[in-house]
Amino acid sequence: MNFAIEDSPEQSAFRAEVRAFLAQAVSPKLEHSVDPCDMSLEQYQLRRDLGRSLGAQGWLYPSMPKEYGGGDLSAEKVAILHDELSRIGLALPPYYDAGGRMSAPTILVWGTSEHKQRFLPPICRGEVRTWQLLSEPGAGSDLAGIKTTAIRDGDAYVVNGQKVFVGSSHGADYSWTIVVTDPKGERHQNLSWLMIPMTLPGITVTPMDLLATGGEGGSGSGVKNAVFFDNVRVPADHLIGGENNGWKVASTHLEVEHGGMGRLADRRVIYEFIELCRERRDGYAIADDPGARAELVELYIEAEITRLFALRNHWLAHTNQPRSYEGAQYSLRRKLSGLDISEKMLRIAGPCVLTKDKRWGPLRGTIEYFQRDAITALHPGATTDIQRVIMARRIGIGGREREKAGALR
Amino acid sequence: MDLSLNDTQRLIQDSARDFVRGACARDALLKFDRDPAAMMDGLWPQMSELGWTGMAIPEAYGGTGNAMTDVAVLFEELGTGPVPGPLFSSAVLCARILLEAGSESAKKAWLPRIASGECVFALALTEAQYGWSAKSIRFKARNEGADFRLTGTKVFVHDAQYATDLLVAARVEGGAGVSLFRVDAKARGVAIRALDGFLTGMSEVTCDNVRVSGDDLIGWAGDAWNALERALLAAVPVLCAYQVGGCKAVFDMSVAYARERTQFGQVIGRFQRVQDHVIQIVNHLDAARWTTYEALWKLDSGADAAASIHVAKSVASESYMRACDFAHEVHAGIGVVREYGLTLHTRMSRSLYHCLGAPRLHRKRLETALGLAPA
């Protein structure tokens, strides 16, 4: 076995290349707001510029095929890219593009060759930003119970309904959206996916006021929105994966969202917190207290297990190994250990973790944000309970037949 | 990056799997449990023939010098039994101690005989003040000309009842530090008494004025602790792999039972509360697995493995015990019927919890490894 993401001269050279590239491509004006909701339009544009530079190299979506603007890179090189971006406080993509991140692998599996030619290159090159639209006021865990309809009318689907917990600040070019295309059809056989251009008439976006945005470390998602569709006419060729075949298509989308790919270089804040506790100021370090040390070690072990699950999933997905329950297992662990770690931080360091005050909030307020984010992160991409349901099915004890993991390529 | 087993490891895994399924099927394990001597007669010659007694020993001393990860792959499979016996104590732990602490002549004298299976070593370290650090060792040795005399009691010694030879940690009167002696298990004054109860393979070892030749002092008088600690640290992840195997076995048992046991007109695996227990087991299994194998990789590649090893033992000891607990929740009544076999694991999970240091000790050491506490 080899747990090193960099273990050959070629890979070391690649890391040097990436580092040199980023030194050039990352604007000196780029700043990191602690709370992604505070990211200005100018800062967002700087991240999009970086995305286009990465995309031109095939590095924005490095595991996608080259012919669609990806990099066709190995598991190691993809990991090195994540690692180098994380080192400078960014993620891959460096801005919120969850719609692209989930739709690109999904289109790769379920799209026609025309869909792939048309939709994948702009995503991979960073020319468009895409949101994902799944949840509705009446359909969270029960995704198949959505009500937003898309009814065929000539050369278009007419979309009506409301989606919630959508996207980010500063808009999007596309919305990767799951809809009901057969309102009278049977459950699971009435759904489809649409790639909806956000410029179409009849779309209204309203921000939601949330505790935090949840997840997406380093990519700065910003505020979540409610999106209303009022007789929006979407060209029929924007339906991907076949009409009423959306539940099957969702299996790939959800496999990615549920952590099937593993999220590397995540949650640096945890390791920074340990560093903080080691630091000696005015002759005192938090780690001087034996009780605090004991909790810190627990926190470290929690973080290490989560890191290893992510690494394992990254390797499984990028080397086409058989997978079953691992995606949901990682997601479950990430959510629960995140919450657990946030509570340990509170116990260890005291109420300073609750403030973003410039004088009293540690690590520029990132710990305060983590306190809110760990709670918010419990729901996106399915609750912990749903992750357990998926695990049970994949292990082969939940359903009558053992469920297979969603196809990734 | 490659998290798969290599070809050598796959071969080891296959032969170990065949061995566990064949010679160590449930009925055989239950028989060995009642009659440990039968286990030594039946299994030990096979284990030696398969070369397992020499895997962790360099070629220069009659072994095959395998990587620790190779050895761990074997022990993960043995853990699925759980296959009892002194293979770990003798061929991994004591072999490593001799390698770290022994003189060239001691290595030449004993390692080939461990590798061939002729000698079976066990480590007698822990005492009434139970613990795996130097301060817990009070056992006395007295210098007598070129020889030593050993008097004292070791307890909770793993695998002593199978041993031909013991490595005994002691303090020589008049000197500081820990010394290590090889003691013939049959020597006059040595008494080995297997402990009864909810444990597997643990004994009390008493020495009453046992004469030990100066040649059997391993390393220097009063100076064995550092080498001993290095050896213990290197052996830990192999023991963890055995615990991983145990988790794997109780996971497989629980999945199979949840799929076949019917109550309220349906298989119990359809109940989400039962599912939760099974999910807990697999989460413990994978946490133990990946922390263990990362530690092994660091050990084999010469990186600083200390922090990872402390994490692995903290996780694996806890995981095996908790996995068994959850398996009992899934199995309910049938799980405590001895014939069913689950309790072999439950008992083993308790017996190994403290072996080579409990999670509490390894967490304390992790504080130091992370720079949170002074060494």
What class does CATH assign to B7-118?
mainly alpha
Q: What is the pLDDT of residue A213?
A: 78
Catalytic residue among A257, A302, A326, A368: A257
pLDDT tops 70 at residue B65: yes
Of A232-236, A315-319, B138-142, B279-283, give the lowest mean pLDDT range: A315-319
Partner B contacted by A348 (CB < 8 A): no
Residues A96 and A221: beta-carbon distance below 8 Å:
yes
- CB distance from A330 to chain B under 8 Å? no
How many CB contacts within 8 angstroms connect chain A with chain B?
122
Instruction: Check residue A262 and give its pLDDT.
Output: 67
- Write down the CATH superfamily of domain A130-246: Butyryl-CoA Dehydrogenase, subunit A, domain 2 (2.40.110.10)
Predicted local confidence at residue A344, as pLDDT: 96
What are the helix and strand counts (H, E) for chain B? 13, 10
Q: Is the pLDDT of residue A110 over 90?
A: yes
Which among A82, A397, A400, A401 is the top mutation candidate for probing chain B, defined by the most B β-carbons within 10 Å of its own β-carbon? A397
Closest Cα in chain A to B330: A397
**Does A312 lie at the interface with B, CB-CB under 8 angstroms?**
yes
Which residues, including other chains, have CB under 8 Å from residue B47's CB and lie 6 or more apart?
B53, B85, B87, B117
A89 pLDDT band (50/70/90 cuts)?
Answer: confident
- Out of 1.20.140.10, 1.10.287.1120, 3.40.50.670, 1.10.287.70, which CATH number does the structure's domain B226-369 have? 1.20.140.10
Decide: A392 and B269 in contact? Cβ < 8 Å.
yes
DSSP characters over B162-213:
G-SEEEEEEEETTS-S-EEEEEETTSTTEEEEEPPSS-SSEEEEEEEEEEEE
Distance from CA of A39 to the nearest CA of B (A): 35
Question: In chain B, what percentage of residues exceed pLDDT 90?
Answer: 95
A238: amino acid identity, one letter: H
CB contact under 8 A, A321 and B272: no
For residues A127 and A52, give the distance between their C-alpha atoms in angstroms, rounded to a whole number: 6
Residues of chain A with CATH 1.10.540.10: 9-124
Full-model pTM: 0.95
Confidence of residue B318 (pLDDT cuts 50, 70, 90): very high
Question: Where does CATH 2.40.110.10 sit in chain B?
Answer: 122-223
Residue A350 is predicted with a pLDDT of 94
Q: Cβ separation of B370 and A333 shorter than 8 Å?
A: no
| CA-CA-CA-CA torsion sign (B262, B267, B273, B279) | positive
The one-letter code for the residue type at A27 is S
Digit-coded pLDDT (tens) for B4-20: 999 999 999 999 999 99
Lowest mean pLDDT among A253-262, A306-315, A357-366, B96-105: A253-262
ipTM: 0.96
Which CATH number applies to A261-395?
A: 1.20.140.10
- Per-residue pLDDT averaged across B213-218, rounded? 95
User: Top-level CATH class of B122-223?
Assistant: mainly beta
* Sign of the alpha-carbon dihedral angle for B21, B25, B28, B29: positive
CA distance A79 to A264: 7
A156's CB contacts (< 8 A; 6+ apart) are A233, A234, A235, A236
Angle at B220 (CA atoms; ends B217, B223), nearest 5 degrees: 120
- A-chain CB neighbours of B4 within 8 Å are 1, 321
| Digit-coded pLDDT (tens) for A195-216 | 999 999 999 999 999 998 765 5
Cα distance between the two ends of chain B: 33
Instruction: Report pLDDT for A254.
Output: 87
Give pLDDT, residue A409: 67
Determine the distance in angstroms separating the CA of A302 from the nearest CA of chain B, rounded to an integer: 9
The answer on pLDDT for A117 being more than 60 is yes
Within 10 angstroms of residue B360's Cβ, the number of other Cβ atoms is 12
**Whether the predicted pLDDT of B301 surpasses 80:** yes
Between the alpha carbon of residue A121 and those of residues A61, A69, A237, A255, the distances in Å are 10, 5, 17, 22
Please list the residues that pair with B218 across neighbouring strands: B180
Burial classification of residue B63, based on how many CB atoms lie within 10 Å of its CB (0-12 exposed, 13-18 middle, 19 or more buried): buried
**Neighbouring C-beta atoms of residue B14, cutoff 10 Å:** 11
A257 tagged catalytic: yes
A175-193 tens-digit pLDDT: 999 999 999 999 999 999 9
Beta strands in chain B (DSSP E): 121-124, 140-144, 147-158, 165-172, 179-184, 190-194, 202-213, 217-218, 262-263, 266-267
Q: For residue A217, what pLDDT is reported?
A: 52
List, in order, residues 6 or more apart from B27 with CB less than 8 Å away. none
Query: How far apart (Å, rounded) are the C-alpha atoms in residues A148 and A158?
Result: 10
Q: Give dist(CA A148, CA A183) in Å, integer.
A: 9
Name residue B340's amino acid: Y
pLDDT score, position A37: 84
Q: How far apart are CA A148 and CA A312, in angstroms?
A: 37
Tell me what pLDDT residue A84 has. 93
Which chain B residue has its CA at the smallest distance from A334's CA?
B283
Return the pLDDT at A266: 60
Higher pLDDT, B185 or A264: B185
Task: Report whether pLDDT(B90) > 80.
Answer: yes
Phi and psi at A193, nearest 5°, equal: -110, 135
Structural contact between residues A144 and A187, judged by C-beta atoms closer than 8 angstroms: yes
- Strand-pairing partners, residue B205, are B154, B192
* DSSP-based three-state secondary structure for B346: helix
Distances (CA, A) of A35 to A169, A218, A276: 12, 10, 20
Please compute the mean of the pLDDT values over residues A114-132 and round it to a whole number: 97
Query: DSSP alpha helices (H): ranges in B23-59?
Result: 26-34, 36-42, 44-49
Query: For chain A, how are helix, strand and coil distributed in percent, rounded to 5?
Result: 50, 15, 40
CB-nearest partner of B1 from A294, A308, A315: A315
Please indicate if any CB of chain A lies within 8 Å of the CB of B73: no
Gap between the Cα atoms of B259 and B269, Å rounded: 6
CA A370 to chain centre: 16
pLDDT over 90, % of chain A: 78
Residue B99's pLDDT band, with cuts at 50, 70 and 90, is: very high
Q: Is the pLDDT of residue B205 over 80?
A: yes
Residue of higher predicted confidence among A61 and A258: A61
Closest-CA distance, B286 to chain A, in angstroms, reads 8
pLDDT at A318: 87
Question: Are residues B207 and B152 in contact, defined by beta-carbon separation less than 8 angstroms?
Answer: yes
CB spacing of B275 vs A392 below 8 angstroms:
yes
Of B275, B372, B373, nearest to A388 by CB-CB distance is: B275
pLDDT digits (tens, 9 = 90+) for B122-167: 999 999 999 999 999 999 999 999 999 999 999 999 999 999 999 9
Q: Do A287 and B1 touch (CB under 8 A)?
A: no
Asked if the Cβ–Cβ distance from A274 to B2 is below 8 Å, we say: no
- What's the CATH number for A9-124? 1.10.540.10
Q: Lowest mean pLDDT: which of A123-137, A267-281, B115-129, B136-150?
A: A267-281
Total count of residues recorded for chain B: 375
Min mean pLDDT across A207-211, A400-404, B263-267 is at A400-404
Which of A280-284, A384-388, B109-113, B152-156 shows the lowest mean pLDDT across its residues?
Answer: A280-284
Q: Does A265 have pLDDT greater than 60?
A: no
Q: Which residue, chain included where needed, has tokens 């990099």?
A: A71
Span B81-92, average pLDDT? 97
pLDDT attached to residue A214 = 62
3-state secondary structure of A3: coil
In chain B, ranges of CATH 1.10.540.10 domains: 7-118
**CA A203/CA B171 separation, integer angstroms:** 82
Residues A74-84, mean pLDDT to the nearest whole number: 92
A-chain residues within 8 Å CB-CB of B274? 397
